[in-house]
């Protein structure tokens, strides 16, 4: 979408003409203005020359201590402040259960002769607007075709990151693919959503593992120490499986849709160890028999050696290992790839340049 200048048509005579009925013949003070059948509590936002821009009191805002004073020749311009436009799933106004997200807006221009204000959404690369759009009462509010733009990065900022820098990914992916869904994107949507869910689950589980290891007391009474040990090992098993699947799906994504995004080298380097650990945990019944693929294997029983996990925070199996201190970087790199890949993939599908998938 081409950028449009943030110009304002300062037709003061037109503005004066539209609100001349709010010019008092004598000095007055007021706190409310009529709007339809309602008396609206208003506050003074700004004086610009002879114009007094007033707006409704915001919900939860403290009322100003005194009324608004207006002198003869001054013009009161009541307006509704607009911070953002929002996207909802249901058509019912005020139904917050269907709220998806809001996108900040800025004024493109105002035409007082037409009683019209044009706005557009703010791009993620632009600074946040310093204030809200002023929509004068009695004016039309217009958004031209192409003036609503949404980037996946905007969605990704809905929630603050955890202390380790991670933000749950699944809502970002769901929102991205469900706003203006491209025809034929159903399979890709399911695929990336599943990868995001696995990654979110892996992050939560590794967080618990890290915390439980930090709190682990090796000299605690036997039953307590054993219970904690088994809980930690169980968390590790499910965390490794979830992370390995998320990494595998990320690596295979480029075979489903031609996107110009490469899997980070850090993710590729650790995928072999993750796969071996995952296979051992998913086929633990085989390893318990000392077997791999149904055949005796001297490495099979090493999956039951947890000493390195508690001594150095390293998950091991045979000659493969995963260091817990390196897991967070791996998770963040995988997440960053999935965000970029989802953004590019939707554009590829929308352009119709995606081939058929088997």
Cβ proximity of 177 and 196 under 8 Å: no
d(CA 173, CA 196): 7
d(CA 209, CA 235): 6
Residue 37: count other Cβ atoms within 10 Å of its Cβ: 5
Per-residue pLDDT band at 95 (split at 50, 70, 90): confident
Q: What angle do CA 242, 179, 200 make, to 5 degrees?
A: 15
Per-residue pLDDT band at 1 (split at 50, 70, 90): very low
d(CA 139, CA 160): 37
Per-residue pLDDT band at 285 (split at 50, 70, 90): very high
Per-residue pLDDT band at 353 (split at 50, 70, 90): low
Per-residue pLDDT band at 5 (split at 50, 70, 90): very low
Q: How far apart are the first and last CA of the chain?
A: 34
Is pLDDT of 75 > 90? yes
Mean pLDDT lowest for which of 180-189, 292-301, 307-316? Answer: 180-189
Cβ proximity of 257 and 354 under 8 Å: yes
Q: Taking the model in full, what pTM does it have?
A: 0.84
Number of residues assigned to the chain: 358
* Spans of all domains in the chain: 12-142, 153-350
Place of tokens 């040990």: 229
d(CA 34, CA 157): 39
Is pLDDT of 6 > 50? no
Q: pLDDT at position 352, please? A: 66
Cβ proximity of 113 and 137 under 8 Å: no
pLDDT digits over 136-169, tens only?
999 999 999 999 999 999 999 999 999 999 999 9
Q: Nearest 5°: phi and psi at 193? A: -60, -45
d(CA 266, CA 264): 5
Is pLDDT of 53 > 90? yes
Q: pLDDT at position 12, please? A: 81
pLDDT digits over 110-139, tens only?
999 999 999 999 999 999 889 999 999 999
Residue 137 tokens, joined = 């009462």
Per-residue pLDDT band at 90 (split at 50, 70, 90): confident
Q: pLDDT at position 109, please? A: 96
The strand pair at 75-82 and 51-56 is best described as parallel
Per-residue pLDDT band at 2 (split at 50, 70, 90): very low
Is pLDDT of 356 > 50? no
d(CA 223, CA 220): 8
d(CA 138, CA 52): 16
Query: Angle between the 186-215 and 324-350 helix axes, to the nearest 10 degrees?
Result: 170
Three-state DSSP string of the chain: CCCCCCCCCCCHHHHHHHCHHHCCCCCEEECEEEECCEEEEEEEEEEECCEEEEEECCCCCCCCCCCEEECCCCEEEEEEEECEEEEECCCCCCCHHHEEEEEEEEEEEEECCCCEEEEEECCCCCCCCCCCEEEECCCEEECCCCCCCCCHHHHCCCCCCCCCCCCCCHHHHHHHHHCCCCCCCHHHHHHHHHHHHHHHHHHHHHHHHHHHHHHCCCCCCHHHHHHHHHHHHHHHHHHHHHHHHHHHHHHHHCCCCCCCCCCCHHHHHHHHHHHHHHHHHHCHHHHHCCEECCEECCCHHHHHCCHHHHHHCEEEECCEEEEHHHHHHHHHHHHHHHHHHHHHHHHHHHCCCCCCCC
Is pLDDT of 355 > 60? no
Spatial CA neighbour of 277 closest among 243, 310, 307, 254: 243
Residues of the chain with pLDDT > 70, as a percent, come to 95
Residue 137: count other Cβ atoms within 10 Å of its Cβ: 19
């Amino acid at each position: 979408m081409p950028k449009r200048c943030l110009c304002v048509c300062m037709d003061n005579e037109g503005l004066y003409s539209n609100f001349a009925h709010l010019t008092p013949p004598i000095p007055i003070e007021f706190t409310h203005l009529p709007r339809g059948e309602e008396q609206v509590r208003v506050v003074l936002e700004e004086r610009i020359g002879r114009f007094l821009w007033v707006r409704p009191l915001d919900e939860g805002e403290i009322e100003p201590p005194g009324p608004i004073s207006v002198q003869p020749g001054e013009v009161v311009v009541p307006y509704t402040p607009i911070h953002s436009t929002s996207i909802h799933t249901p058509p019912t106004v005020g139904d917050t259960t269907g709220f998806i997200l809001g996108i900040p807006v800025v004024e493109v221009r105002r035409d007082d002769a037409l009683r019209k204000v044009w706005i557009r959404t703010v791009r993620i690369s632009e600074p946040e607007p310093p204030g809200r759009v002023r929509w004068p009462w009695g004016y039309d509010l217009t958004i031209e075709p192409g003036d609503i733009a949404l980037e996946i990065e905007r969605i990704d900022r809905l929630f603050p990151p955890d202390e380790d820098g991670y933000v749950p990914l699944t809502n970002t992916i769901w929102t991205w693919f469900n706003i203006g869904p491209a025809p034929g994107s159903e399979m890709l949507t399911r695929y990336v959503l599943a990868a995001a869910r696995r990654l979110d689950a892996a992050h939560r589980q590794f967080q618990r593992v890290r915390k439980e290891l930090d709190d682990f007391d090796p000299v605690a009474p036997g039953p307590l120490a054993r219970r904690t040990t088994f809980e930690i090992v169980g968390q590790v098993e499910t965390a490794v499986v979830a992370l390995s699947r998320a990494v595998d799906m990320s690596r295979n994504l480029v075979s489903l849709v031609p996107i110009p995004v490469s899997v980070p080298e850090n993710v590729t380097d650790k995928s072999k160890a993750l796969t071996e650990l995952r296979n051992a945990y998913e086929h633990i019944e085989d390893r318990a028999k000392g077997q791999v693929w149904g055949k005796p294997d001297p490495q099979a029983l090493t999956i039951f050696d947890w000493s390195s996990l508690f001594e150095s925070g390293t998950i091991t199996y045979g000659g493969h290992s995963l260091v817990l201190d390196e897991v967070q970087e791996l998770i963040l790199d995988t997440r960053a790839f999935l965000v970029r890949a989802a953004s590019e993939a939707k554009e590829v599908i929308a352009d119709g340049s995606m081939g058929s998938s088997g």
